[in-house]
Amino acid sequence: MTKDTQISMADNFDNEVSIIGTGRVAISLIHELRTKGVKVNEIYGRSLAQAKKLSDHTPGTSATGSLDFSNSRSRVLIIAISDDAISHISEKILCSKDQIIAHTSGTVSLNVLKHSHSGIFYPLQTFTTGKMVDFEEVPILIDGKNEIAIDQLTKLGNVLSSNVKIASEAERKQLHVAAVFASNFTNRMLSAAEDILKDSSIDLKTLEPLILESIRNALDSGPDNALTGPAKRGDTETIEKHLNLLKDKKQLQSIYGKITELIISKI
């Protein structure tokens, strides 16, 4: 789906949106919605000053510290805040019976939203302060209490991304755990590699071609088929040398041993 096609799809989603939140997900959503031609009205922030700061950089929006959206022109209200605050904030929202409320969490149940037209609008991506995410290929996972919510949230998702899926609560939870392994844990493994190299003249960037090629191979061929290294080869001598090298880094030595055992168990 081209960006021109997505912008024209904004005509199919003929409603307006308000965003509840001022964090990284909220900022990226506001930017992308406006880029794709969707009208964003109110931006709610627990800190009105933060909401105003964001609104001042987003023409056509207004900042608010009120959760009363009953007179808003927005059909869809998106809650983009920390998981542990969703239930509390959603209970305070005032809106009409025709408005749709959705949150962006992958782990919080749809059931915490008590409004009749409630749903999930979960972009499966990591969001970084100061960096706008291009939603073109970001999976957006949709769920809802009824067909009205699902239909409207799907149309909205299609404006932003070419990868919109209906996903049950169980599927979203599985995806979220998988994402932790694929993203956060990978990040920590890179941090471990950096820690191992810190006493040498070599930095992490030296590993960049290897890292990128390993990820490509895993996605193209499957992680098991792309696996290389001493554990895959059964090279116990090299494994022992690595473990000895890590003798002063007990935590990393333990991680190395456990992951090596996992690799061997799957060969």
CATH label of the domain that carries residue 55: 3.40.50.720
Q: Is the same domain home to 62 and 121?
A: yes
Q: Answer whether residue 5 shows pLDDT above 90.
A: no
Q: Is the same domain home to 163 and 179?
A: no
Encoded tokens for 156: 């909205």
* Region of residue 21 (left: phi > 0; alpha: psi -120 to 50; beta: else): left
Give the residue from 167, 196, 227 where a domain finishes: 167
- Label residue 220 by pLDDT band (50, 70, 90): very high
* Region of residue 178 (left: phi > 0; alpha: psi -120 to 50; beta: else): alpha
Residue 133: the pLDDT is 85
152 in Cβ contact with 143 (< 8 Å): no
Q: Is the same domain home to 153 and 186?
A: no
- The amino acid occupying position 265 is S
Q: Is the same domain home to 99 and 212?
A: no
Encoded tokens for 192: 């471990």
Q: Answer whether residue 106 shows pLDDT above 80.
A: yes
Residue 6: the pLDDT is 47
- Label residue 1 by pLDDT band (50, 70, 90): low
Angstrom distance (rounded) from CA 91 to CA 60: 27
Residue 11: the pLDDT is 54
- Label residue 73 by pLDDT band (50, 70, 90): very high
**How open is the CA angle 14-16-18, to the nearest 5 degrees?**
160
Q: Answer whether residue 10 shows pLDDT above 80.
A: no
Q: What is the mean pLDDT of residues 40-47?
A: 97
Give the residue from 139, 167, 195 where a domain finishes: 167
* Backbone φ, ψ for residue 81 (5° rounding): -135, 180
Q: Is the same domain home to 117 and 230?
A: no
Give 20 or 10, the one with higher predicted confidence: 20
Q: Is the same domain home to 158 and 190?
A: no
Q: Which domain holds residue 128?
A: 3-167
Q: Is the same domain home to 10 and 129?
A: yes
Across the chain, mean pLDDT equals 93
Give the residue from 167, 194, 211 where a domain finishes: 167
**How open is the CA angle 175-111-105, to the nearest 5 degrees?**
35
- Label residue 46 by pLDDT band (50, 70, 90): very high
Angstrom distance (rounded) from CA 215 to CA 186: 10
Q: Is the same domain home to 115 and 27?
A: yes
Q: Is the same domain home to 186 and 66?
A: no
Q: What is the mean pLDDT of residues 111-140?
A: 92
Domain count for the chain:
2
- Classify residue 210 by burial, with Cβ atoms within 10 Å: 0-12, 13-18, 19+: exposed
Encoded tokens for 80: 């983009």
Looking at the chain, the whole-number percentage of residues with pLDDT higher than 70 is: 96
Q: Is the same domain home to 178 and 161?
A: no
pLDDT tens digits along 154-167: 999 999 999 999 99
Residue 130: the pLDDT is 84
20 in Cβ contact with 77 (< 8 Å): yes
Provide the 3-class DSSP secondary structure of residue 53.
helix
Residue 7: the pLDDT is 45
pLDDT tens digits along 79-90: 999 999 999 999
Q: Which residue, among 94, 188, 111, 102, has the nearest Cα to 140 in the 3D structure?
A: 102
Residue 103: the pLDDT is 98
76 in Cβ contact with 17 (< 8 Å): yes
